[in-house]
């Protein structure tokens, strides 16, 4: 499943859950502002990841890791190995805050678990096979999420 589609599926799940369970006053009156700030931060981080891949002239398509021509470890990739996925997670957290639903935020944990197991781990196996020690050293310096 393409990660952006998966993010949409989780967002729909969060919305459905928020419709079925009681709302909570998250951050009281500042929840909309917090939601906007966190969402914009997520969008910025995700876009910076894509731009770093474009600058390096390598694929940003997570469904075709075999097309990776370069190991990108500069820019936002000095802080997180997965800025696009981190960005998606922050967008989901912002959406959960907007929904005023702590219950829906629990699905963000599900997003992390799914992404780790079915997207990130396979990508990392491929990158380690393709870039060998360079990826191992990078992985030792930069955390998966943040």
Q: Which residues of 83-102 are buried (b: 16+ CB within 10 A; e: fewer)?
A: bbbbbbbbbbbbbbbbbbbb
pTM, full prediction: 0.94
Q: For residue 64, what pLDDT is reported?
A: 82
Q: Which residues of 56-68 are buried (b: 16+ CB within 10 A; e: fewer)?
A: beebbebeebeeb
How far is C-alpha 43 from the geometric centre of its chain's CA atoms?
Answer: 10
Q: What is the pLDDT of residues 33-81, one digit of tens each?
A: 889 999 999 999 999 999 999 999 998 888 887 788 999 999 999 999 9
Q: For residue 32, what pLDDT is reported?
A: 86
Res 28 pLDDT > 70: no
Q: For residue 7, what pLDDT is reported?
A: 98
């Amino acid at each position: 499943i393409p990660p952006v589609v998966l993010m949409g599926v989780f967002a729909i799940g969060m919305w459905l859950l928020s419709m079925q369970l009681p709302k909570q006053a998250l951050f009281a009156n500042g929840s909309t502002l917090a939601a906007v700030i966190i969402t914009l931060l997520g969008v910025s981080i995700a876009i910076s990841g894509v731009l770093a891949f474009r600058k390096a002239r390598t694929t940003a398509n997570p469904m075709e890791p075999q097309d990776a021509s370069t190991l990108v470890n500069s820019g936002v990739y000095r802080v997180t190995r997965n800025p696009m996925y981190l960005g998606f997670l922050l967008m989901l957290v912002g959406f959960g805050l907007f929904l005023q639903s702590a219950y829906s935020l629990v699905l963000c944990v599900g997003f992390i678990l799914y992404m780790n197991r079915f997207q990130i781990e396979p990508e990392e196996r491929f990158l380690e096979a393709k870039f060998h020690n360079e990826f191992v050293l990078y992985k030792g310096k930069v955390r998966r999420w943040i």
